[in-house]
């Protein structure tokens, strides 16, 4: 039996680890070949989050190859449009087509109220989490249009793209901006049968969330908070009694939106949030 995205090719940014790696594996399990892009280096001013490495990206490649799917990897910063375009063009040349774009790469930095956020943190956040998403789609879209088979674009926003929290205003602004990109691309690309949707995860168990800085943000009352301490408070964000979800929970949403099962779904901000937006 064919997989749910059998024979398609997916471009995934931020694919060295976390959700991006999970998307690569999940789409490959369902028959897709992968173009995997990641900066694999420290670019964030955040000290608490260790940078992804070239070995991480190589591990993603091994996991996809282990599923008998093809993968092309590239170490590229999504802020660099020319490098991104070259990587996507080369990936499409090697794999023959492009059908799916998952613009997932993103960072967390800072942790101040907006009035105290540094200009450097603000600029880096907007450059990666908003402009990087736009550049990813811009690099991939000509191949979707040229292919003439339609396509599916999934932009990773956040619950923070639909509601506000204190201390991450630059992240909230960037992720709300992603919704604007999603809606505009959906309107502009619909004529080509290219669908554009966004996913809005709550806390996900990846290094971006599961780190010392986040634990201190959730538990400023404790000197050395750990995951269990954070879970008690994180759970209060949700209707379902959990503190966070797993990367595969987001990948399953991405897979659905990428597949023909979602053939008439476009312009949808899809939450995977354990009910966070109800609160």
Ligand X SMILES: NC(=O)c1ccc[n+]([C@@H]2O[C@H](COP(=O)([O-])OP(=O)(O)OC[C@H]3O[C@@H](n4cnc5c(N)ncnc54)[C@H](O)[C@@H]3O)[C@@H](O)[C@H]2O)c1
Stretch that binds ligand X, among 111-119, 189-197, 207-215, 217-225 (CB under 6 A): 207-215
* 5 or 159: CB nearest ligand X: 159
50: three-class secondary structure by DSSP: coil
Sign of the alpha-carbon torsion through 195, 196, 202, 204: positive
Residues whose CB falls within 8 Å of the CB of residue 114, separated by 6 or more in sequence, listed in order:
169, 170
Stretch that binds ligand X, among 75-83, 93-101, 146-154, 225-233 (CB under 6 A): 75-83
* 48 or 193: CB nearest ligand X: 48
Task: Give catalytic status of residue 165 as yes or no.
Answer: no
Report, in Å, the least distance between residue 119 CB and ligand X. Answer: 18
> Which member of 4, 19, 71, 225 binds ligand X (CB under 6 A)?
19
DSSP state of 126: I
Stretch that binds ligand X, among 60-68, 77-85, 180-188, 228-236 (CB under 6 A): 77-85
Catalytic residue chosen out of the listed positions 134, 171, 185, 244? 171
Q: Nearest 5°: phi and psi at 88?
A: -70, -45
Residues whose CB falls within 8 Å of the CB of residue 261, separated by 6 or more in sequence, listed in order:
4
Binding mask 147-186 for ligand X (x = CB under 6 A): ---------x-x----------------------------
Helix (H) or strand (E) holding 151: strand 151-156
Q: Does 138 bind ligand X (CB under 6 A)?
A: no
Residue 68 near residue 49, CB atoms below 8 Å: no
Give the distance from CA 266 to its chain's centroid: 18
Q: Does 121 bind ligand X (CB under 6 A)?
A: no
DSSP one-letter string for 178-201: HHHHHHHHHHHHGGGTEEEEEEEE
Half-sphere exposure of 3 (CA within 13 A, CB side): 20
* 29 or 149: CB nearest ligand X: 29
Catalytically active residues are: 171
Give contact residues for ligand X (rule: CB under 6 A).
Answer: 13-14, 16-20, 38-40, 43, 52, 77-79, 104-107, 128, 132, 156, 158, 201, 203-204, 206-209
């Amino acid at each position: 039996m064919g997989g749910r995205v059998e024979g398609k090719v997916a471009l995934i940014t931020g694919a060295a680890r976390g959700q991006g790696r999970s998307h690569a594996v999940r789409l490959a399990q369902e028959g897709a070949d992968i173009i995997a892009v990641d900066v694999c280096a420290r670019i964030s001013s955040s000290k608490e989050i260790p940078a992804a490495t070239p070995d991480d990206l190589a591990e993603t490649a091994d996991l996809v190859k282990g599923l008998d799917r093809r993968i092309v990897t590239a170490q590229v910063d999504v802020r660099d449009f020319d490098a991104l375009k070259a990587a996507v063009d080369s990936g499409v040349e090697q794999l023959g087509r492009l059908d799916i774009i998952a613009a997932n790469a993103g960072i967390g930095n800072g942790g101040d109220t907006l009035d105290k956020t540094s200009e450097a943190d603000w600029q880096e956040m907007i450059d990666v989490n908003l402009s990087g998403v736009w550049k990813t789609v811009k690099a991939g879209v000509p191949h979707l249009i040229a292919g003439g088979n339609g396509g599916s674009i999934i932009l990773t926003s956040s619950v923070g793209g639909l509601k506000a929290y204190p201390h991450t205003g630059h992240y909230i602004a960037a992720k709300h901006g992603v919704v604007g990109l999603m809606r505009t691309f959906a309107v502009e690309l619909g004529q080509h049968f290219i669908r554009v949707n966004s996913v809005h995860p709550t806390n996900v168990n990846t290094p971006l969330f599961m780190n010392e800085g986040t634990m201190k943000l959730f538990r400023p009352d404790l000197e050395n908070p750990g995951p269990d301490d954070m879970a008690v408070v994180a759970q209060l964000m949700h209707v379902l009694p959990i503190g966070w979800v797993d990367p595969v929970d987001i990948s399953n949403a991405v897979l659905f939106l990428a597949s023909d099962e979602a053939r008439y779904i476009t312009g949808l901000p899809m939450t995977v949030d354990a009910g966070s937006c109800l609160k």
